[in-house]
Amino acid sequence: MSELAWENIIKNQREPRVEKPRNTGCTMVMDVGKSLLETDSILQLGGNYIDHWKFGFGTSAFIDKAVLQKKLSLLAAHNILTFLGGTLLEVALLSQHCRVYMTRAKELGFTAVEISDGTLPIPRFRRKRIIECALNSGLIPITEVGKKDPKRQPTTDQVIAEVQEELAWGAVWVIIEGRESGQGVGVFNELGRVDEFEVDRMIDRLGTQTEALIWEAPLKSQQVFLIEKFGAHVGLGNITVDQILAL
């Protein structure tokens, strides 16, 4: 890695984690069905450590609207960004304009939106328009790069180019795909081990833009590696909700 990239890493490792609201070192948890009571308990204990709350897959579609809105209000009171899993948007785009989806999400009380093409292909020009659509709707755009299928993984150069492009288009954070398994995708091999060489390449090419990354890292060993690499300012995602204090 370049000398400047190493200096940035060392600087981040030495500095204490900033208080909320954080622009760097954000932690995103994955919720696939926590009740209001469970959510309240989690927030009482660990709300200060959670920045982004993702409603995984299409789970939010099965929650009563009134309950969902109460849950979103509770999370907003703890200064936590809320958004739906990107796969739901990918499916929605098959039958409707992104503006319909964004308007509905905003009306329900979501504060951000995840924009991905991990399952269904979306042309780059359309990705740009979707980011603009989110901004115009008053939602914070969080994009995700990478594919869910282990056989369709982009190269590191492709990931770097997409990160740079999407940040230029207005994305506030970019998630690096790691799935819920953390195996065989992104910077993880089939056993879930981190490819340090590829991580270093991304650091070298992206420089300070790595501060806008959220690495999906569901496995403890991956979390340990990334914390040791970047320090307290690392952005981590797909953290199990009830493991936030352990993290």
Instruction: List, for residues 142-198, the tens digit of each pLDDT value.
Output: 999 998 888 889 999 999 999 999 999 999 999 999 888 989 999 999 999 999 999
- CA distance linking residue 114 with residue 139, whole number of Å: 10
Averaged pLDDT for residues 57-61: 81
Phi, psi of 63 (to 5 degrees): -95, 135
Q: Is the pLDDT of residue 14 over 70?
A: no
- What is the distance in angstroms between the CA of the first residue and the CA of the last residue of the chain? 27
Q: Is the pLDDT of residue 61 over 90?
A: no
Residue 31 banded pLDDT, cuts 50, 70, 90: very high
Q: Which domains does the chain have, with CATH numbers?
A: 3-243 (3.20.20.70)
The pair of structure tokens assigned to 68 is 């969902």
Residue 91 banded pLDDT, cuts 50, 70, 90: confident
Helix (H, G, I), strand (E, B) or coil at 151: helix
- CA distance linking residue 70 with residue 56, whole number of Å: 18
Q: Is the pLDDT of residue 118 over 80?
A: no
Residue 10 banded pLDDT, cuts 50, 70, 90: low
| 176 within 8 A of 153, measured Cβ to Cβ | no
Averaged pLDDT for residues 135-139: 97
Q: Is the pLDDT of residue 130 over 70?
A: yes
Angle at the Cα of 237 from the Cα atoms of 55 and 177, rounded to 5 degrees = 95
pLDDT at residue 220, rounded to an integer: 96
- Lookup result for tokens 């999906």: 216
Mean pLDDT, the chain, integer: 91
| 145 within 8 A of 159, measured Cβ to Cβ | yes
Q: CA-CA-CA-CA torsion for 58, 63, 64, 65, nearest 10 degrees?
A: -50
Identify the sign of the CA torsion 8, 12, 15, 19.
Answer: positive
Residue 232 banded pLDDT, cuts 50, 70, 90: confident
Residue 48 banded pLDDT, cuts 50, 70, 90: very high
Q: Helix crossing, 220-230 with 3-14: angle to 10°?
A: 110
Q: Is the pLDDT of residue 102 over 80?
A: yes
Cα separations in angstroms, 23 against 118, 131, 180, 242: 25, 19, 24, 23
